[in-house]
Structure 1
Amino acid sequence: MSYRGRFAPSPTGHLHFGSLVAAVGSWLCARYAGGQWLLRVEDIDPPREMPGSAESILAALPAFGLVADAPALFQSQRMAAYDQAFEQLKAANQVFPCWCSRNDLAGGLHLDGACLAPPAADRTPAWRLRVPDIDIGFDDALQGRQTQNLRSTAGDFVIRRVEGYYAYQLACVVDDAFQGVTQVVRGNDLLDSTPRQIFLQQCLGLPTPTYLHLPLALDAGGRKLSKTERAHPVDPTHPMPALRRALAFLDLAVPSDIVEPGLALADALDRFAPESLPHCSERPAA
């Protein structure tokens, strides 16, 4: 299969610098490999979403020269696929209903493969994946060899929430397979999620892509730039300052005489190699 990469923002705010870095990094990897760059809007958590942000993000990307090779996939339109994956796990006895509250777990992990609380007829349960005592290992293209004991780190994790919403882990692996993604390029904050996703891929018989986790952009206080931390959005009407910063963050500083986003990306691509990306897991946003 030819290379397919993707950028998959959650519509919880406007495009900000940390997300722009992830978008640029994934775009560069796809174009370097001569492959496709796809978009996916991860809009399956309505309580966290900001009205209009999906449209805002999709409209902003072309202003930075980031044009996808296909229309964006919206997870809110993919419920039938998640239902099918859930029923497959249920039929294989790999999931169980759980009425445990956070107090029941005392802030710890669920490790028992069955609910600790009695069924409650007046409450809808969450559904958890049974997690065995196994080590999941993978070679990250930038961060190197990673190994995680899934049981001690994640425990029996939720794949369908009490509210009926599917969890990120399940939707992500189903859609990566559906879109034919061959490499996931994203921020290092999701490195710990990767073993859970690999295990789910194994449970569902889905292919496992390769992974490359980019360093996180930090604010002046050393905190991750994110929409939930009210990171300032980038300005698509004046894209070059933020694009210059994003490329410099990836050690691909743009010459000062380049003043158009498409030319800036082309210049960076001429000098780009995935192994040349900065390896450190956290970096200050310049």
Structure 2
Amino acid sequence: MRTSMIVTAIAVIAGGSASALAATPAAKPLAFNPPALTSIPKGKFGAEVKLGENIFRHTTVYAHGIIGDALNCSNCHLNAGALADSAPMWAAYTAYPTYRAKNKKVNNFGMRLQGCFRFSENGKVPKLDSQTIVALEAYSYFLATGAPTGAKLAGRGYPKLAAPPKPATYAAGEAVYKQNCSLCHEADGSGQYVRGQTVFPALWGSKSFNWGAGMGSIKNAAEFIHANMPYGVAGTLSVQQAWDVATYIDSQNRPQDPRFVKSVAETRKKFHDNKFSMYGKTVNGHVLGAQK
């Protein structure tokens, strides 16, 4: 009785009814379509947006000397960051500032981009007022034209993926990789290049993302793969295959986590102590994260 009276009082203060308040459903993600790149405005701002697009598409060229691997932003954020369910930039831009458990602080969008350079690009961290960060912010802002700030947009991040029907294994993932991934990414995961420019990105090794990157999580990798890979025929892998191949890819050697402290064991305990990280685990007789 008392709880009912409190709910009624709150509803009256808010200008509504108790039944409406109690029955209010959770907001559904809003649909959004980013503007066409042909509508980038003229003038100095448009030039900055275009620079951001170029950095995003051709990071190895436009951020040469900043990144430490051979990846372009568009390798993980497909269609130059405009594709839904591929961590599109228009959905990310409107979600900041927000708290991030990764660094345990509220981040603005520029700080989030800095994290990408540190981990996914295995590189240096550009200053917030650097041309690189400002141009990428301008490009993301343009893609988010008309999107509501702070709203949950459909297509943000990667679609949630059900748990695999059976435990994912390295051996099963290797078979999936050989059949579906090696043609583009090579058998050794090194990727493909033309005139020194990345065509298909390295999935492990010195030219790939480091252990601190989001793709170093089997869960994140499986969600991305299931929604977007193989390139051009997305959706052809089963849930089980996505988890298996993500496990295989994330069980390979890659650059060290830049947050490394004291030892691999200590670093795992502090940053990777979860079931989706292979960092610090032994695979084929080698401790992942340890230098060979």
TM-score normalised over the length of structure 2: 0.25
TM-score normalised over the length of structure 1: 0.25
Higher helix share goes to which structure? 2
Higher strand share goes to which structure? 1
Q: Which entry has the higher C-alpha Rg, 1 or 2?
A: 2
More RCO (CA 8 Å, sep 6+): 1
